[in-house]
Each structure stands twice: as structure tokens, then as C-alpha cells.
Structure 1
């Protein structure tokens, strides 16, 4: 990639922004040195790394690499056995602590912040492309802890760093105490008359006392210093010279012990030198990758799709160096239907910005950076990008604007091939318009014939005609609002632009006669072209307004549809609540019925079988009537819900059904005929109805409608209990005497099973059975648990247990009745 284009499209400013997002000096250097790549696999990998870091930033927040630095000098010193300073070792420890935090960020589910820090639906850490890079970090926690244990600050080593250091410092403290005792005696008694001040001071790391200069011969000792005026001498009394010497020796020993501690820590670091080097490299790389992700986040950028077809497809692309609040997005395609775009329009309309946006997006994408554009934007791998943008006039080389541009163009034409992208700003400008237009057309045609992708801006109408008449070439323009005299900066593909010189001049107040005279200077062909362009622009604006109306209408319809769906859902929720409430009421009635039945049975036992059977029958009839009414109400509500779910195979001759559309009940007399209609007798009337208009009416053992799901499973329970098919409404004690001692609940839902169990146990009690066997199976244990919960609440259940070996094991419960 030629370096000149990097400067022309301001890629260096993007690198400045990227560098600001890096934390460490080594990563900042990488950012500054970033260049577009020429290998598609490398580009895609770099893009995926940036995207992986971006996803982590969105999910887990920011991560800091600030403790990373250029450790080259330290690593070099360690490699030759040198000892690091306390400050250098602390830097190393801080770095290792940061390595640990960064590793936790990338290799744990919550990044070390607690699971609540994650958004729902987050992926596993190992699914992230950067997981291996995080996993290769070595925090070396033992080394870091040892450094922090021994070194308290850059100037202070801990007493506990080594036994020798602790011993020496204790001796220094004791010697210092003895010196202070001796000096206190001298200052307060012996030498008091000679003192300038009653203080003890340090000179040359030795304890001294200030003596008036006229009494210097009265004090035996060593003079170390004097005051600026010469009136005071700082003398080390002879009595403490030996003690000062002892402290000096101990201080030297302390220094040696400190050197031993630093040497020991440095040796431990040297043993881990390879891991430290790997950490430095990986931390720098991660810092660099996350700098790219942070830049993408700040630019609202997305990962572009790279193709090898040399095609561009930019969706709502925004120039990254323009304020996000002011920039106008562009949509552009190049390489599919056309490989050359000619952009026309007035000055300051956005043509040059469009060129730079195209070039900058290509360079950013090839460097592994996301681009500020919409999803599914596509870029191509070009072997090189050439650009001639801006005024390159050179006073030093005596080159005019035209000469400077032509020098650049000649250089480009000498290097370009079909794998390149060329960008030209005001091609052919700076010279005679006729000759400039001819040169521009010739240059573009040269590139077009060789299949080279190119975008050029111009003012020349001849280039508009060339683009219209040449296959594979299209016009484009930057929209300009003549009413406000302001460009909108919108790029319109397929629409040639106008300079709008006459319209702008008239708006600014130029007299009409001058404008008319200017029009007469134009050739008829040029005037016709301008008229066509004006007509096209007017139609385009009209179509755009119609499209905006259609879009607004679609949004309004979508909003209304959403409101309708919400209302439908609300109604459905209400209907389900009503049904649920009805079910609860039914259960309450059944519970009340059971209590009354229990009371009746109790009274029957007290009075004996010869009691008032007619009264008992009236009670049971009343209960049946209540249950029947409630079940019939539930059935009607559920029939509508089940409508359309009934199949022909579900019907049998003799089944009781409801004809939903008529609200009548009847008996099936014939299965569906060739037209799919079923014969149903409703009282004395015979009729035919489609299967979809029918609903099965399920009945209990008394012949009452019920709302259960499975009539067959309920029927099977009654058959096992000896009550199958019995629809007699008269109380029949002979049936009760022959009830089975076993109830099979297999295949039922929990609600079905409990209803069947309740009915069966009532019959068993009336038949005076003392022990019954309930078959519920093993399975998940849910049905067994429901049965046991039910039995536990019944006061007339004496006891229950799971079956023993040979009785059915855990799939059976044996119940003893009181």
C-alpha cells in the first residue's frame, strides 16, 4: 500500500484516535504503526479479533492494560543475572497483578465481577475468539506476592523480607537507643553550659550536638560541620564515637541484606523470564485489539464483510472524522453492475467527502478496523488504493494545479492494475474545460476498459453524457437544496448532478437579464441536457416524497397491527382467566359434594343399610345436578377452544357430541361420508355437520358432562374400579358390592388420576373394603407424590405404603381404609 494515499484520505488521523484508546506505551506504538494488510485471511482474522473484543466490551465493560510498559531493559538485565531495583520489582508486581485481572476478565463467565454483572444470554468465555490469548497469560501470583511482601515502597524494604535484615535493624535500633541515652546525659548535665541549643542533630549520618564556637576546646569530640555564621559547631562527642561507628557498620550490613533480598527476588523473576516475556507480548496485543474495539464502539462501527470480487457495498456509511451529529450517511455500490462512478454536483456538496469516505473505509477495513457503516456492508481486498484528491499545487517545483494533478495521475496510471481502486477529485480541472473534459473521459475510459474500479468527481457535463452512454459506468450526484442554497450531502446513485450556477446566482440576487444572457451563451445541446437534468431532479424529489408517504403509511399499519395483536392477547388472557376461575369453582363444588357424601355415608353407617334410601338418593341427585351444570358450563367454554382440533378418527357411532354452530347436543349415527360430514341425531331431528363443527361431550360415571382431557383414561379408571359404562341414575348397591380392589391410574394426567381416585375410594368405602391397591407406576414419581399427598389429607385413610417385592414395588401404593 502506497503511503501517499494514507495521508490523502487522512488515515493518519484515524490512527491518532486509535492510539488514544490504547492504555500502554507498547500498544500505542503498535497503533501508530498499523497499516492495511494485503492478505485476505489476515484481514478477516483481524476483523474477527476486533469484533470479539467489541462483544466483550459490550457484555463486561472496559478492561485496563495500563500497567503494561516497555520491559525490554528489565528483561535484558534479568537475562544476564543483574539485580533489579525495588522500584522496578514493584512495577513488575503491579504488571503481574494486572495480568491476573485481565485473564479473569477474558476466561471467566463474569469477568471477575460476579455473575450479576453479565447480561442475560451471554455466551461461554471459551466461545470467544480471544479466549486462547487470555488463557495464555501467566499471572505468576507467587512471585507477585513475594515482591509485595518484601518491598513496601520504592524506598522501603520490609523488616520481614529476611531474617538477617530483621536482626540488623533490631541491632541498629538498640544502638540508637544507647546513643540517645548517652546524649541526653551530656546535653542535660555535662555539656549544658556550652550548648547553642538543647537538641541532637545528624551530620554525615552521625549523631552530633550544637556547641558554641567559643567553647569548642571544652568539648572532646570530632567536629563535623558548622553553621553559616560560624557561631555554632556540630561536634560528635568522644563518648559516643564508638557507638556511632557501630551504627555505621550495622547500616552497611543492612544495605548488604537489602541487596540480598533484591537479588533473591530478581533471581526468582529471572527463573520466570519466558513467562514474563510472553505476558508482555500478549498484554500488548490484547491492549492493541481492545483499542480497535473501543474505537469501533465510539464510532458506532460494524465489522465489514470482505469479498474477493472487488466489490464495494456501503450501507449508510459515515465519515469517521465528521461529527456524528452532523454527518450525512451515504449508500454506495461499486463492482457489481458498474465499476466506474462519475459524481457531479456543486462545490461544497460533499463530493470530496464521499471520495475520502470510500478510500478511508477501504484502508480501515484492510487494517482490521471496523467501519462506521450499517450491517452487511462489504469491502474488497484491493492490491493498492490510489487517490488524487485536493490541491497539490507546488510553488517550490513551479507546478500549477493542473500540472500537479496530472503528475499524480501519470504516476497512478504507471502503477495501476485491475486489482486496484482509483479515486479522482475534479478530474481534468485546472485547464481549458473542453480539453480537460476530453482528457478526463480518456483517462476514465482507459481504466474502465481494463476493469479497474474507480470513482471520480467532476463539473464537466461531457462526463455526465459519457457515464450515461457507457455500459458499466453510472452517474451519481450530491444533492443540493436550491431553496436554502445548502447542500444536503446525500449521495444519489444513478442521478447526474447539476452545478446549479444559474439558480444559485438568481437566489443570491443576480439580475434576470444577466442570467438570461448567460443562458443564451450555452449551446442548445447543453441547454437540453440541463433541462433533462432539471426534469429528472423534479421527478426524483416527487418519487422520494411518495416513498416517504408509503413508508409512513407502512409504519402506521405496522403500529395498528401490533395494537390489534396486543388486544387479542389481552382478550385471550382474560378468557383463560375466566376458564381458570370456572375450574376453581368446579373444584370447590366437587369438594363440597364430597363433604356432603362423607356425611351421608356416615349417617348411613349409623342407621344401617335399611335407612332412608330415598333421602340419600335425593342428596346424590342434587349433587349430580350441581356438578353437571358446572361441567356443562366448562365444556361449552372449552368446545370453542378445541374447535377444529377434532379428527374424524376420534369419532365413533354412539358418541355424544355438541354441534357448536347450532348449540345442540346429539348422538353420532354415522361416521363422515365422502364430503366429510357426520350424521348426528339431535332429539327427533337428524342432521349432518362437518367434523370441525363438532365437539365430543365427555361424561362421568353418572352420565354427567365433564371437562377432563382424556375420556378414555377416565373410562379406563372406572373400568378398573368396576364402574365401567354404568350410567344408571338409580342407586345400585349390587354394583358397589362387586367393586375391584385395584385402581389403575397409568396413562392419566395428575388431575385425571386424582378425580378417578376420589371416585374410586368413595365407592370402596361404600363397599366396606378395608384395603385397596393403587397402581400409579414409577416414572418420574410425580403421580405417586400427588396420590400420597391426596391420601395424607383424607381422615378415613387409616394408612398407606408402597408395595413390597411381589406387590409392584414403588409403582404401587397399598391403602388401608378405616
Structure 2
């Protein structure tokens, strides 16, 4: 990717924002070296890592990486046999300790069956060295100070130092109190040249004897080491020298212990930097409400609700930006300050971010392409030193761009052909666009020339667009309108500002007739677009409502079918139990008859008759696949008296219903879902009353005094975090409503929302199990959840 485009589109500012979110020196180095690439496989891997980081951030609060310094110079010194100081060893120890903690962290993620694309692979590359990590932790504190536990010798020496210091202080405390206080400038014990001294007035320096180590700036105070503590200070000094030597020995020993593991420690630090970088990308996505885009195979770019990441989210206007699928060129026209240039930069910058593996500031489902080159001619690059005019500087840049573009390029032109005669500029702009189109490159350009509106209308693969302008408020809305060219609003603005009507009419007479017709055509297109958009929103509302009702009916049918099968299975089992009991009794009776026959010897009861009787009893068993042959159950059904309010299965439709009232001798009015039908008793099977709170209604529950809770939650079109929050609230409401199961519709899309909901349901305490819906009920686009 050329470096000029990174500067033009301010990619470095994105890297600065990302760098602020890193915690390690090597993580910052990863950000510093970050650049867009054109290798699809590499980009895919980067985006998967970003997706993993966002998932861990959502489920576990992020990867626990502390602040880490760059230990490469330390390892280089180890390589040449040098000794590290305490701070350097502490920094290496922190890397080793963090490695152990992250190894356990990834182990916990694996135990929780959290699926990740690439992070587990990074975790497996880290090598833990527990003994060395423990040795450093016991010997060196975070600030580099060597602990007393580093060696028995050091502990003994420091104990001797403390005793010596205590003896010196006791001696000096005795000197500065009582009658000697009059000789002192201040009654305190201080240090000079690493020896304990007392502040004595200059004229009394000889009172205490000993050695003078320093004097005050005024010369009125001298710092004296009294002769009583000279020997004690000497012993203290000897202990301090021994302490320093022992510390140097410990540091050398620790440095030698690090040497064999130099490569492993360096690789651990590299992996930690990578993980820190991945974590920073995830935090960037959360902070700026960015998403991981999908990669298009056909170079189709669709940015849904795209926002420029460097404009505050409360100020920026989101737009849908599309190029590549139906058209390769987009021509944006309209007045200045309407947002045309920002739209160009948004497309270019988000494409650069996506090809760098970063989340982009757009909505879920956004798609980017992979371009080998992105080029832009944006802004005024007039050079005084090179004596280039605005037009010349633009043309110099355009000439360079045209020499490089190919079918894998994205080109952004701002005010194409501006800075010269309008007719010549328009002709040049059209010729340049033809040249870029001949190379099958993708281009988005802004212009003021009306000739290009006709060009965008007539050329295949090219579409007009504009930035909406509100004439009532005399201000731009910054909304991008694809398919509608921009028009001049000078007459409307002048009229709103109070310009005389006659002046405006005279101006309209002067203006070229074709231009006037074009503006009127554009105005009519805008009105028609607004009307179509309003109608679309209304129709979309009704379609969504119809889809929701249809889905509820599908769920209800599925529930009815499942309940019917359960009742059929229970009936088959009960019937077979009855037959089994009868068979046992009949077998006992047959055995008695046979014994009687054998005992009597008269042969009145034939053996084949006994076998035939047993066969008839066995034939009473029912085929569990053919319930209609179950004579026992049918007879029991006929003997049961139906009552209003009873639940029944209507055999013809295979659905469950409720008896309302009896009509005639054997006909009943039955409520089947939203339908009421007349059904004969012969076509109904009475169901046993359900236990309360086992299962509520199928589609929805309506409480006379409370809100309506649906058994289906539709999350299509929701943002990721909003969707998960809505799932949490909905499950609580469904549990309170007494549902045994509900359906969550998340759509198929990128699979990110489906995966997030799956991970959430795994950890929900009230969820018994969940699975994708049947194919005729949405398949993998919906999840059926059963509660405990």
C-alpha cells in the first residue's frame, strides 16, 4: 500500500488511538509497524484475531496483560555475558509471571468450551518456566530491590546492618540530648557521605571530636561524626560493602540462570506483545462502536451505517456506502460543505482499517473488499516552492494515479477537474473517469459539474449520488443519497432569504433551459424518493409484523406437533402396559388349564387351542408407529365424557385444541389456535389436564393487567451489544411468564451474533438446553431455548 494514501486519509491518527490502548512496549511496536496489506489470507487471520479479542473482552473482560517493558535489550546483554541490574531482572520476571498467568487464563477459556479462532494457537506458543519465575519473584521486588530472602548470607548481613544502625543511633541520641543540646544547630541525627552525623554549631566543632564531613551553605553549621561512633560507622560501612557484594553476586547468579532460556523468554515477550495488540484492537472496537467486517470475494464493498472514526460519534452522520456490486463508479454531486469529501475519506479510511485487521466504525454485516492499491486525490496540494497551481498539483497527482491503477484498485477523486475552465474541466473529468473505467478500477468521485450528472446516468456501471440538503433549514443533512444526483439550491435558498420574486424569476429565464429541466428532474426524483422511502418503511413495518405472526404460528404448530407425539407415545406405552398385564394373567390361566388337562387325562382341551389363545393375547400389543390400531385406547376414548374446556387432539389436523361448547349430539365447537371449528367426537382424542406451570400458552401470553410477552425474540438488525442486553432481559421475562421454551431469531449473517448468543446461553443458569430451529422454522438463523 502506498504511503501517500496513509497520510492523505490520516491512517496514522487511527494508529495513535490504537497505541493509547496498548499496555506493553512490544504491543506499541506492533501498532507502530501496522500497515494495510493486500494478502487475503493474512487479512482474514488478522480479522479473526480481532474477533477473538472482542469475544474474550465481552465474556471475560479482556486478556489480563499488565504493563510490560521491552526486554529485548536485556536479553541481548545476557547473550554477551553481561549482568542485569535489579530493575531489569524484575522486568524479565514480570514477563515470565505474565506468561504463567495467561497460560492458566487460556486453560480456563478452553475448560469453559469458549470457541476461539486463533488465540489458542498464540497461547500454545508460550513457554512457562515456573522454577525460574519463582526464584526471581522471591529474590527481586517489583522496583528492582533485592529481598532479604534472596540468600541466607544477604539476610544475615542486613540483620547486622540493622543492629549497627541501632547502636549508632543510640549513641548519637545520647549526645544530642541533655547538656550537649546547646552546642547543636538542631537536635537530630542525619547522614553525610553514608555516615551518621549530627549538626553542630561551627564554633563548637571541637566539642565532640571525631570527623567533620560537611558544612551548611552559610557555614554556621558543620556536620560532625563524633569520635564515639567512628568505629561503629566503620563497622556499618563494612557491612554495607558486604551487602553490595552479595547483591552483585545474586544478580550475576540470576543473570546466568536466565541465559539458557533466552530464546524462550524473547518469544514469550513477542507473543505477549501480539496478545496486547489484539486486546487493543478489541478495546478500540468497543470504545468506538466498531465491528469486524466481512471480506467480499467479488470486491463488493457495503458499509452499513458507516461513520468516520475521527469525528465524535455524537456529531457524525452515519451513511450506507456501497460500491462494486451493481456499479464500479459513484459520482457524488451537491453543494460545498455538504459532506462529500468526508464520505470519500470514510470509504477510504475504513477500507484501510479493514485491510489492517482493525474493526471498522460501521454496523454489523458490513463488507469490505481487498484492494492491492488505494489512491486518492483529495485536498489542495498547491506548492509555492514548485510553482504549481491548484489545478497543476491535482493533475500531477492524477497522472501518477492513472499510471498505477488496475482492476484491483480503489480510486478516490475529490472535485475532479476543478480549478480550470468549467467546460474543459468537465471534459477532462469525463475522460479521466473513462480511463479509470477502462482499467476496471473502482472509483468514487465528487464534482460540481452538471455534465457529470448526465455521464453518471448514461454510463453502465456508474451511478449518481448526492448529499442531501434541507432547503427549509438552509443546511446540509450530510446524508448520502445513492441514485439521486445533486442539484443547485440557489433559487430556493435565495427565496427563503427574502430575495425579490421577480429577481428569482428573471434568473430562471437567464439560466440554460436544459440545466433548469435537469434541476426540476432532480427535484422530482428527490420527492419521489422520499415518498418511496416513506411507503417502504410502512410496508416494512407490516411485513415485519406479518413475519412475526407467521413465525409465532410456525412455533405454535411445532409445539402442537411435539405435544401430540408425546401424548401418542404415552398412550402407546399405557396401552401396552395394560395388554402386558392381561397377557400375564392369561398366561397364568392357560398354565392352570394345561395342568388340569394333564391331570385329568381326558384331552378335552387341545394344545393348539391353547397356543391360539396365547397368540390372540399377544396380538393385543399395539404398534407404536400406528396408534390408530390401538383398540384399547380408542375404546377408553369413547367411554370418556367430553366437557367444555377440555383439551383434545383433532386427529384430522394433528393439532391440539380446546372444547368450547357442544353442538348437536356428537359435534363440538373447538378452538384451534386462532380458528374455531366444528369437530365430531369421533375425530378427537381427549388429553389429560396439564399440571399448572408446566407449560403456558404457545405463541404468546396475555395477562389482563400486564404486558404481552412473545415466545419469540427477533434480533435481526440489532447491534451486537444491544442484542445481548435484550436477550438477557427477554429471558428473564420469559421465565417469569412461565414459558418452558422460547425462540431467539438472530439470522444467519456473519454468524457473529449467533455465536455471541450461543456463548451467552451456555453460561445462563436457567437454560436447560438449546439448539438450532428445524429447517422449516429458520434453521441456523434461529435458536430454540428450553428452560430448566
TM category, shorter: 0.5 to 0.7
Counterparts in 2 of 1:567 and 1:333: CA distance versus 1, 3 Å: closer
Query: How many Å apart are 1:53 and its aligned residue?
Result: 0.9
Other-structure match for 2:525: 536
* CA distance in 2: counterparts of 1:489 and 1:180, whole angstroms: 77
* 1:40-439 to 2 correspondences below 5 Å: 40-109=40-109, 123-124=113-114, 127-152=116-141, 154=143, 156-175=145-164, 202-207=191-196, 221-225=210-214, 236=225, 241-439=230-428
The whole-number CA distance in structure 1 between the counterparts of 2:451 and 2:207 is 112
CA distance in 2, matches of 1:328, 1:188: 78
Residue 587 of structure 1 corresponds to none
Supply the distance in 1 between the matched residues of 2:642 and 2:180 (Cα, whole angstroms).
115
For these two proteins, the number of residue pairs brought into alignment is 607
Q: Secondary structure at the match of 2:499?
A: coil
1:9-68 CA-partner distances (Å, limit 9, x unpaired) = 222222222222222233223213321102111111111111111111111113343422
Deviations 1:195-218 (A, max 9, x none): 888876654444556777777777
Q: CA deviation at 1:249?
A: 2.4
State how far apart, in whole Å, the 1-side matches of 2:351 and 2:39 are: 14
* Aligned partner of 1:643 among 648, 651, 659: 651
* Counterparts in 2 of 1:439 and 1:216: CA distance versus 1, 3 Å: closer
Cα distance between partner residues in 1 of 2:331 and 2:163: 91
In 2, the alpha carbon distance for the partners of 1:95 and 1:378 equals: 38
Of the candidates 426, 434, 453, which is equivalent to residue 464 of structure 1? 453
* Maintained 8 Å contact 2:648/2:685: no
The 2-side partners of 1:494 and 1:193 are apart by 98
Q: Distance in 2 between matches of 1:169 and 1:693?
A: 100
Preserved contact between residue 426 and residue 449 of structure 2 (Cα < 8 Å): yes
Give the structure with higher Rg (CA): 1
Separation in 2, partners of 1:540, 1:26:
52
CA distance change for structure 1 residues 545 and 232 in 2, over 3 Å: closer, same or farther? closer
Q: Is the 8 A contact 2:56 2:63 kept in 1?
A: no
Of the structure 1 ranges 223-232 and 389-398, higher mean CA displacement relative to structure 2 is found in 223-232
Q: CA deviation at 1:374?
A: 3.0
**Secondary structure of residue in 1 paired with 2:403:** helix
1:93 positional shift: 2.8
Change (3 A) 1:193 1:468: closer
Q: 1:630 to 1:317 in 2, by over 3 A?
A: same
Distance 1:638 1:439, change over 3 A: same
Q: Unaligned stretches of 5+ in structure 2?
A: 568-635, 656-661, 668-677, 691-788
SS of match in other structure, 1:108 = helix
Equivalent residue of 1:434, what SS? Answer: helix
8 Å Cα contact 1:478-1:489 kept in structure 2: yes
Q: Deviations over 1:597-653 (max 9, x none)?
A: xxxxxxxxxxxxxxxxxxxxxxxxxxxxxxx99983579877723534789xxxxxx
Change (3 A) 1:663 1:284: farther
Shift of 1:707: 9.8
Q: Secondary structure at the match of 1:640?
A: strand
Task: Name the structure 2 match of 1:743.
Answer: none
Residues 149, 462 of structure 1: alpha-carbon distance in 2 compared, 3 angstrom cutoff? same
Q: Residues 405 and 186 (structure 1 numbering): CA distance in 2 closer, same or farther, change over 3 Å?
A: closer
| CA-CA distance at 1:282 after TM superposition | 0.6
Map of 1:659-670 to 2, 5 A cutoff?
A: 664=666
Q: Is the 8 A contact 2:71 2:91 kept in 1?
A: no
Question: What is the Cα deviation at residue 533 of structure 1?
Answer: 2.1
Deviating more after overlay: 437-446 vs 136-145: 136-145
Preserved contact between residue 302 and residue 321 of structure 2 (Cα < 8 Å) = yes
Change over 3 Å in CA distance of 1:184–1:63 after alignment to 2: closer
Residues 230-270 of structure 1: per-residue CA shift (max 9 Å, x gap)? 67766555565444433332322222112122222222223
- Shift of the 387–201 alpha-carbon distance from structure 1 to 2, 3 Å rule, reads closer
User: Retained in 1: the 8 A contact 2:637–2:685?
Assistant: no
2:440 alignment counterpart: 451
Is this contact kept in 2: 1:67–1:94, CA < 8 A? Answer: no
Alpha-carbon deviation of 1:474?
1.8
Mean CA deviation greater in 480-489 or 185-194:
185-194
> Are the equivalent residues in 2 in contact too, given 1:631–1:706 (CA < 8 A)?
no
Which residue of structure 2 aligns with residue 11 of structure 1? Answer: 11
What is the TM-score of this pair, normalised by structure 1? 0.65
Q: Does the Cα contact within 8 Å between 1:661 and 1:693 map onto a contact in 2?
A: no
Q: In the TM superposition, what whole-angstrom CA distance separates every residue of 1:161-204 from its partner, at most 9, and x where no partner exists? A: 21222333344445556666777888899999988888766544
Counterpart CA distance in 2 for 1:444 and 1:282 is 47
Distance of aligned partners of 1:441 and 1:706 in 2 relative to their CA distance in 1, 3 Å threshold: closer
Which deviates more from structure 2 when the two are superposed, residues 250-259 or residues 171-180?
A: 171-180
CA RMSD of aligned residues (A): 4.3
1:188 and 1:148 map into 2 onto residues whose CA distance is: 44
How big is the shift at 1:228?
6.3
Structure 1 residues 232, 44: closer, same or farther in 2, change over 3 A? Answer: closer
| Distance across 1 between alignment mates of 2:559 and 2:287 | 41
1:763-807 deviation line (CA, Å, top 9, x unaligned): xxxxxxxxxxxxxxxxxxxxxxxxxxxxxxxxxxxxxxxxxxxxx
User: Partners of 1:531 and 1:194 in 2: how far apart?
Assistant: 104
TM-aligned CA distance change 1:308 to 1:646, over 3 Å: closer
Moved more, 231-240 or 190-199: 190-199
CA distance in 1, matches of 2:93, 2:476: 58
Tell me how far 1:547 sits from its aligned partner. 1.8
1:677-688 equivalences under 5 Å are none
* Cα deviation, residue 313, structure 1: 2.4
Name the SS for the 1:415 alignment partner. Answer: coil
Whether the aligned pair in 1 keeps the contact of 2:382 and 2:390 (CA below 8 Å) is: yes
Quote the Cα distance in structure 2 between the aligned partners of 1:371 and 1:363. Answer: 9
Paired with 1:263 and 1:62, the residues of 2 have a C-alpha distance of 37
C-alpha distance 257-400 of structure 1, shift in aligned 2 (>3 A) = same
Moved more, 231-240 or 501-510: 231-240
Q: Which residues in structure 2 correspond to 1:370-769 (within 5 Å)? A: 370-554=359-543, 632-633=640-641, 640-641=648-649, 643-644=651-652, 664=666, 693-695=682-684
SS at match of 1:247: helix
**Conservation of the 8 A alpha-carbon contact between 1:646 and 1:694:** no
Secondary structure at 1:272 match in 2: helix
- 1:446 is displaced (CA, Å) by 1.7
Deviation of 1:78 (Å) = 1.8
Does the CA-based 8 Å contact 1:350-1:478 persist in structure 2? yes
Partners of 2:322 and 2:201 lie apart in 1 by 95
Query: For 2:516 and 2:188, how far apart are their aligned partners in 1?
Result: 105
Q: What does 1:780-791 correspond to in 2, within 5 Å?
A: none
* Counterpart contact for 2:381–2:394, Cα < 8 Å: yes
d(CA) in 2 for partners of 1:78 and 1:452? 53
Partner Cα distance (1:381, 1:424) in 2: 19
**Structure 1 residues 486 and 556: CA distance shift in structure 2, 3 A:** farther
